[in-house]
Amino acid sequence: MPILAPYPLPSSPSSLTLPASQRAIYLLFISDDDVTTGKPWCPDVRAALPFVEEVFGKEGNEGAVVGYVYVGQKPE
């Protein structure tokens, strides 16, 4: 089961809950996809994502949740 998924941010820190079966939540703030390429517009994000997916997509990491928080397009 993949653990990389969008993670809805809670409305306040007090409403953040972590189920007992999960070890950690990692939030990655990344650039939105470029509309022409379908890939993140930021070259650093494009370079890092394969490594993030390799590490957190492995079996045995089911106790962690990785959520992507999109920060917008380049002009923003």
Average pLDDT for 5-14: 64
pLDDT grade for 2, boundaries at 50, 70 and 90: very low
Has residue 45 been placed in a domain? yes
The pair of structure tokens assigned to 65 is 């949740």
Alpha-helical regions (H) of 1-76? 43-56
The pLDDT of residue 39 is 92
pTM: 0.61
Has residue 25 been placed in a domain? yes
The pLDDT of residue 15 is above 70: no
Has residue 75 been placed in a domain? no
- Higher-pLDDT residue of 17 and 71 is 71
pLDDT tens digits along 29-67: 889 999 899 999 999 999 998 888 888 777 766 667 777
Has residue 76 been placed in a domain? no
Domain of residue 53: give its range.
4-10+17-70
